């Protein structure tokens, strides 16, 4: 028997390598997930009309992640930015996330967690900033061009990244900025939307790691109509 024949079958819904040349992982959704998507599409109704393929995929998957149809109404979607971000991810661009929880949730790609950098705590103490702020400034120096950045928890990380962008020190392929909270979250997302940086964000205080992970998975798992399946 060949090694491939001995390999265990993947669990339902688990990502598996895509066919050669496609770059994107393929997955087989569980029947419960299929029914869940049917329900959410019915509830979203015509709010999905007119959305580009990736904008629709992001809307559906983020809504699904929190079981909150109203969350879809807050999204600020830019199809061209999502296309650029997806292409960067599939080409192997660094994916930088703000929490270990996000890193654990993103099952299809390796991630970089700047908070794990021991220099972050030292810089935060020296500058009086938060560790998230310090960590993202260090990460910006390490990954100045073409990375995808995903922030679902720390508004200070998003503000720091935007300051690095404004100073010309970092040029992201895409910023997924969906931090949650009552202090700074809405303001940081509004600043991201105004910045002109290729981005996916939303209005208001809602956000978080689950929707951020869902948005990244929407980009990674999206498959063009007619593409062969693994």
Rounded to whole angstroms, the Cα distance separating 197 from 218 reads 20
Residue 20 clears pLDDT 70, i.e. is over it: no
Question: Residue 212 contacts by C-beta under 8 Å, 6 or more apart in sequence?
Answer: 97, 102, 150, 151, 152, 176, 178
**Residues paired with residue 142 on neighbouring β-strands, in sequence order:** none
Q: What pLDDT does 3 receive? A: 41
Percent of the chain with pLDDT over 90: 77
- How distant, in Å, are the alpha carbons of 39, 52, 147 from that of 94? 35, 25, 5
Q: What pLDDT does 47 receive? A: 87
Q: Which is catalytic among the residues 30, 64, 143, 222?
A: 64
The model's pLDDT over 171-200, given as tens digits with 9 standing for 90+, comes to 999 999 999 999 999 999 999 999 999 999
Rounded to whole angstroms, the Cα distance separating 83 from 55 reads 9
Q: How confident is the model at residue 223 (pLDDT cuts 50, 70, 90)?
A: confident
The model's pLDDT over 31-69, given as tens digits with 9 standing for 90+, comes to 888 899 999 999 998 889 999 999 999 999 999 999 999
Q: How confident is the model at residue 224 (pLDDT cuts 50, 70, 90)?
A: low
Strands (E), the chain: 75-76, 95-97, 148-151, 174-177, 199-202
* Mean pLDDT value across the chain: 87
Q: Are 230 and 4 in contact (CB under 8 A)?
A: no
Rounded to whole angstroms, the Cα distance separating 170 from 204 reads 26
Q: What pLDDT does 119 receive? A: 92
Length of the chain: 230
List the CATH code of the domain at 9-221.
3.40.50.10230
Residue 154 clears pLDDT 50, i.e. is over it: yes
Pair type for strands 174-177 and 95-97:
unpaired
Count how many Cα atoms sit within 13 Å of the Cα of residue 166 in the half-sphere of its side chain: 10
Clarify whether 222 is annotated catalytic: no
Q: Are 193 and 51 in contact (CB under 8 A)?
A: no
Which two three-digit tokens encode residue 6? 């001995």
Burial 119-154 (b: 16+ CB within 10 A, else e): ebeebbeeeebbbbbbbbbbbbeebeebbbbbbbbb
> CB-based burial of residue 108 (10 Å sphere; 0-12 exposed, 13-18 middle, 19+ buried)?
buried
Q: What pLDDT does 225 receive? A: 54
Residue 18 clears pLDDT 60, i.e. is over it: no
Q: How confident is the model at residue 94 (pLDDT cuts 50, 70, 90)?
A: very high
Residue 11 clears pLDDT 70, i.e. is over it: no
């Amino acid at each position: 028997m060949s090694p491939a024949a001995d390999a265990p079958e993947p669990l339902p819904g688990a990502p598996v390598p895509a066919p050669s040349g496609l770059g994107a992982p393929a997955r087989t959704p569980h029947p419960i997930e299929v029914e869940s998507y049917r329900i959410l599409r019915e509830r979203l109704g015509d709010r999905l009309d007119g959305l580009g393929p990736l904008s629709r995929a992001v809307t559906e998957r983020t809504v699904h992640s929190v079981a909150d149809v109203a969350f879809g109404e807050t999204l600020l979607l830019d199809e061209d930015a999502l296309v650029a971000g997806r292409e960067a991810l599939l080409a192997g661009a660094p994916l930088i996330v703000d929490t270990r929880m996000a890193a654990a949730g993103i099952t299809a790609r390796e991630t970089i967690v700047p908070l794990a950098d021991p220099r972050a705590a030292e810089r935060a103490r020296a500058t009086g900033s938060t560790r998230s702020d310090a960590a993202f400034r260090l990460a910006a120096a390490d990954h100045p061009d073409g990375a995808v950045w995903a922030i679902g928890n720390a508004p200070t990380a998003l503000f720091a990244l935007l300051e690095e962008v404004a100073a010309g020190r970092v040029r992201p392929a895409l910023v997924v900025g969906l931090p949650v909270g009552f202090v700074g979250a809405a303001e940081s997302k509004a600043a991201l939307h105004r910045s002109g940086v290729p981005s996916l964000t939303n209005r208001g205080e809602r956000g978080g790691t689950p929707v951020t992970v869902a948005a990244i998975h929407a980009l990674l798992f999206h498959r063009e109509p007619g593409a062969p399946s693994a």
